[in-house]
Amino acid sequence: MSTEENLQRMERQHGSLGDLDMVDMVDMEDWNGVSSREEPVEMVRELSPGEPISPSSVLRLMAYTDDYLCSPEDNIYNISFSRFKIRDLDSREVILDIKKQCPAEIKDVIDLNASRFIQYRFSPAFLSLREIGATLEFTVGSKAVNKLRLIERHYYRDRLLKSFDFEIGFCIPYSRNTCEHIYTLPELDPDTVAEMIANPFETRSDSFYFANNVLIMHHKAEYSFCEKP
């Protein structure tokens, strides 16, 4: 898909981004879940909490992390998520819509009790989807956020399924923001699909949020693709 087609598609799909003032339009491939950055050759199994964590270091990870690589106190911008929605781009069906009630006034307080781990339960049909849109709604505290970036690493057991790299951009202080990321899902062989269905919650992901190339949040997730009872 050409850059012009990508731009037109983003205009149709994203429209207004609310209070999100700027989106980095340079790395258009990032919005389709394919990083335009060259990944380092030397890969690693793990990183240690407390050591400097950069975008390039998490892009070297070839396994789900055992520990969180930053603490809740590192979220100095007081970013708080209020909604997460997933939709199938082909059928436009909403697959998941999680909402959290937010106060009318944005509070500049770090929520040290905010959950950093979630389990998702999807049907096996989810693994046959090719493109999904994931909408994030979040608020920002008193500090402006520059170069907000999300890197996701998805694994089945010790196998890297795919890496996603999204530039969110700049967020003004005390703002409510909405953005949609487009995920092109990996094409998996039938044996891997069967294993992922048979082994719930062994498919996992690390989500790393950076501001100015500094890690400020690390979230974890596990996925089940079993038939619902």
Q: Does pLDDT of 146 surpass 50?
A: yes
pLDDT of residue 203: 98
Region 5-14 average pLDDT? 44
Q: Higher-confidence residue: 75 or 22?
A: 75
pLDDT of residue 164: 97
* Three-state secondary structure of the chain: CCHHHHHHHHHHHHCCCECEEECCCCCHHHHHCCCCCCCCCCCECCCCCCCCCCHHHHCCECCCCCCCCCCHHHCCCCCEEEEEEEEECCCCCEEEEEECCCCCCCCCCCCCCCCCEEEEECCHHHHHCCEEEEEEEEECCCCCEEEEEEEEEEEECCEEEEEEEEEEEEECCCCEEEEEEEEECCCCCHHHHHHHHHCCCCEEEEEEEEECCEEEEEEEEEEECCCCC
Region 176-185 average pLDDT? 96
pTM: 0.79
pLDDT of residue 202: 98
Average pLDDT, the chain: 83
Percent of all residues in the chain with a pLDDT value above 70, rounded to a whole number: 80
pLDDT of residue 43: 80
Q: Does pLDDT of 112 surpass 50?
A: yes
All structural domains of the chain, each given as residue ranges with its CATH number in brackets, are 3-106+117-224 (2.70.50.40)
